[in-house]
A and B are shown apart, each in its own frame.
Chain A
Amino acid sequence: MFRRIDGYTSTTITVFVDGIPVEATAGEYAAAVLLRTPPHTARLTPLSASPRAPYCMMGVCTDCAATVDGVTSVLTCQTVVTQGMRIDRPTGLPDFNAEDADHAL
């Protein structure tokens, strides 16, 4: 959904979105990486499992939540990327009846 402007200089690092290596720049936010990586979404809503994307980029709306380095429900718009960071988008709502049910929402 977004692309880098010409002439922007920054150190390039690699992060993993849903397991796939993606280029990022040092100092940017994980949400910015999601907005460059199709399908440009973050969380699924807990009620209807509707996809949401980063909306406010300043910690107000919480629609940018994803799993970062195994920690669920992290606001990606408040999380600066690090080399090798794993950002995972949900594939469905958690099954709370499952044996290994996580507290993910």
Chain B
Amino acid sequence: MRFDVAIVGAGPAGLACSATLAERGLTVALIDEQPSPGGQVWRNIEAADRFADPSTIWSDYEAGRAAVARFRRSGCTYLPKTQVFQIEPGWRLFANSGATADLLEADRLVLAVGAQERPMPFAGWQLPGVMTVGAAQILLKTSGTVPETAPWLAGSGPLLLYYASQLLAMGVRPAGIIDLRPPQPVAVRQLLGAVRANAGALLKGARWLAALRTSGVPIIRARQIAVRGGERLEFIEITRSNGEIRREAASILLVHDGVVPRTHEGAMAGARYRWDEALACVVAAADGEPDAPVIVGDAARIGGATSALAEGQLAGLDIAAALGKAQPSDSGLRAMLAKSLAAERALRGFLDHHYPPRPVGDDIADETVICRCEEITAGTIRAHAADVAGIDELKAHTRIGMGRCQGRNCAAVAARLLAHHSGKPQENFAYRVRPPARAIRIDELARLPTEPKP
């Protein structure tokens, strides 16, 4: 199959981009891992009638329903439950669905693959009973389930507060919230900017905080946590900033430290990223190379769903114009989208300052597993810090990043640890990506066509 445009990812950015292009008569393929459109933020939103009040389950519920409905009407070729495992210039995309691998070709490539939660290692984070806040929220959206016993929440960021407020609304009272934000002054200038540009979003956050305060859920400011247990989580050790250690019995701990762009698809397609020290993650380097893929939404830089929706639509307008499908109404649309983006960026400026990523350094105990797949600890990385040039060499020495997740959970942490202990700035914050970027079965690979089907 050959298309004018192939788009990877059916979250806000991918939905808006593919609908914009398909509405203008271009042939568009939207490839997505999940069985239904929406991305993580609007995951399973088409099944909203299972809930008495869906607006409490999905953020910006109405916008999500509208984006998905528009996409469904647009005439785009939708390939759900499909994983891209290799991308070649030109563009040739190798993807598998179920037990079938296939090849499709496109003139233009848009990567709208979104974000993943920033890995937040601490001693014991690999034990059953510990999972991410995002994971718990996906379980709510896709299964209608909540923690069976009062969960502890730890870390920081809007998603943690949002999920805590959702739990309260459903009558589940968290055992406590461990606020692990590094100490810092209030970002007054950014706060004022956000108030001017996007007071509504700030109010939403203020309501979550107020609901938590009135619920009486303890909020404990702390520097680090560790989890103890044999086969599963039994205790959380909370280290306060004064060094005092508090021990709490626990059976469920949900952790969150913000989200970061997902980069495996971009790396395969030859996109360039740069490390942003303040954000502690990579951002796509917009270099304007004509044969580079277009990266939009959180996959390029974390901006949230509203921002991704506008960016996806703008990217669609740009590609349509380049392919001779511009419309007279485009300039008005662009102005409206630019305004929406500016408001979202002002909000993001405040959130980035108010919820800074956790530092990676001495507070990570030697026993902490950094590579969950190969079970490589912080102590092992420290032992190599003086004599490796970077994480790819570390990988050769230790097997770090060589497991099933292909470095998605350890690469940036390992690079930050190396930088901290060696004093050498790091060049790479991701391992070199080699196909297949997703584990696929050897029989799928063997049956892969070398030319696309007509």
Interface residues of A (CB under 8 A from B): 1-5, 7-10, 25, 27-29, 32, 35-36, 39-41, 45, 47-48, 50-63, 65, 73, 77-78, 80
Query: Is the pair A51, B128 in contact by a Cβ cutoff of 8 Å?
Result: yes
Query: In the complex, what distance in Å separates the CA atom of A65 from the CA atom of B33?
Result: 16
Query: Is the pair A54, B405 in contact by a Cβ cutoff of 8 Å?
Result: no
In the complex, what residues of B have CB within 8 A of residue A58's CB?
Answer: 40, 116, 134-135, 138
B245 at the interface (CB under 8 A from A): no
Question: Which of B44, B374, B404: most chain A CB closer than 10 A?
Answer: B404
Q: How far is the CB of A45 from chain B (nearest CB, A)?
A: 6
Query: Is the pair A3, B50 in contact by a Cβ cutoff of 8 Å?
Result: no
Q: Summarize B's interface: helix, strand, loop or mixed.
A: loop
B47 at the interface (CB under 8 A from A): yes
Known contacts A1-B129, A54-B135, A56-B116: does B232 contact A8 (CB below 8 Å)?
no
Query: Is the pair B408, A9 in contact by a Cβ cutoff of 8 Å?
Result: no
Instruction: Specify which of B44, B139, B374, B409 is in contact with A35 (CB 8 Å cutoff).
Output: B139
Query: In the complex, what distance in Å separates the CA atom of A63 from the CA atom of B130?
Result: 12
Instruction: Specify which of B49, B131, B232 is in contact with A55 (CB 8 Å cutoff).
Output: B131
What bracket does the count of chain B residues touching chain A fall in?
35 or more
From B44, which residue of chain A is reached at the shortest CB distance? A27
Query: Is the pair A52, B47 in contact by a Cβ cutoff of 8 Å?
Result: no
9 pairs, CB–CB < 8 Å, chain A vs chain B: A2-B146, A9-B49, A27-B47, A32-B139, A35-B145, A54-B135, A56-B134, A58-B138, A63-B126
Query: In the complex, what distance in Å separates the CA atom of A99 from the CA atom of B433?
Result: 35
Question: Which of A10, A57, A73: most chain B CB closer than 10 A?
Answer: A57
Interface residues of B (CB under 8 A from A): 33-35, 40, 44, 47, 49-52, 116-117, 126, 128-132, 134-136, 138-140, 142-149, 170, 231-232, 251-252, 372-375, 403-405, 408-409, 439
Query: Is the pair A57, B408 in contact by a Cβ cutoff of 8 Å?
Result: no
Q: How far is the CB of B11 from chain A (nearest CB, A)?
A: 11
Query: In the complex, what distance in Å separates the CA atom of A63 from the CA atom of B35?
Result: 20
Q: Which 4 A-B pairs have the closest CB atoms?
A: A8-B144, A53-B128, A57-B135, A2-B145
In the complex, what residues of A have CB within 8 A of residue B128's CB?
Answer: 39-41, 51-53
Query: In the complex, what distance in Å separates the CA atom of A1 from the CA atom of B277?
Result: 37
Query: Is the pair B143, A25 in contact by a Cβ cutoff of 8 Å?
Result: yes
Q: How far is the CB of B229 from chain A (nearest CB, A)?
A: 11
In the complex, what residues of B have CB within 8 A of residue A73's CB?
Answer: 404, 439
Query: In the complex, what distance in Å separates the CA atom of A80 from the CA atom of B33?
Result: 12
Known contacts A3-B146, A25-B143: does B170 contact A9 (CB below 8 Å)?
no
Query: Is the pair A10, B409 in contact by a Cβ cutoff of 8 Å?
Result: no
Query: Is the pair A63, B439 in contact by a Cβ cutoff of 8 Å?
Result: no
Query: Is the pair B144, A61 in contact by a Cβ cutoff of 8 Å?
Result: no
Q: How far is the CB of A39 from chain B (nearest CB, A)?
A: 7
Query: Is the pair A60, B408 in contact by a Cβ cutoff of 8 Å?
Result: yes
In the complex, what residues of B have CB within 8 A of residue A56's CB?
Answer: 116-117, 131-132, 134-135
Query: Is the pair A29, B51 in contact by a Cβ cutoff of 8 Å?
Result: no
Query: Is the pair B126, A5 in contact by a Cβ cutoff of 8 Å?
Result: no
In the complex, what residues of A have CB within 8 A of residue B49's CB?
Answer: 9
In the complex, what residues of B have CB within 8 A of residue A50's CB?
Answer: 126, 375
Query: Is the pair B145, A3 in contact by a Cβ cutoff of 8 Å?
Result: yes
Query: Is the pair A47, B404 in contact by a Cβ cutoff of 8 Å?
Result: no
Instruction: Specify which of A5, A7, A51, A78 is in contact with B232 (CB 8 Å cutoff).
Output: A51
In the complex, what residues of A have CB within 8 A of residue B170's CB?
Answer: 5
Query: Is the pair A62, B404 in contact by a Cβ cutoff of 8 Å?
Result: yes
Query: Is the pair B33, A5 in contact by a Cβ cutoff of 8 Å?
Result: no
In the complex, what residues of A have CB within 8 A of residue B50's CB?
Answer: 8-10
Known contacts A8-B51, A27-B47, A50-B126: does B144 contact A1 (CB below 8 Å)?
no
